[in-house]
Amino acid sequence: MNATQQAALEIVARIAKRNSAELKPEHGLVADLNIDSPKALELMCDLEEKLGVEMDEDALSNIATVGDVLELAEGPGCTAKAA
């Protein structure tokens, strides 16, 4: 896991009120971590702020697991914010 993915994992853990070491890629954000819509919005905003990226809303709609968040943090669904 690279530094960006580790940072994303820490954000998920904080919002889910879990230890990041407990989280597995297959954990469902809703089913396993109880991340509801307001928490999902907080997750998106925190990821964008802390990672300095803008997230594609289409990509966000496909996030269901911790693994999806980690992939999105490094994938084409994120672009660097313009300075």
For the chain, the structural domain boundaries read: 3-80
CB 69 within 8 A of CB 42: no
> In which residue are the tokens 């928490």 written?
39
- What's the pLDDT score for residue 30? 95
What's residue 21's pLDDT?
96
pLDDT in tens for each of the 83 residues of the chain?
Answer: 888 899 999 999 999 999 999 999 999 999 999 999 899 989 999 998 988 888 777 777 888 999 999 988 876 555 555 55
Is 1.10.1200.10 the CATH number for 3-80?
yes
Report pLDDT for 34: 96
For 32, other C-beta atoms within 10 Å of its C-beta total 15
> Contact 68/12 with Cβ under 8 angstroms?
no
Instruction: Give the pLDDT of residue 54.
Output: 83
| pTM for the structure as a whole | 0.86
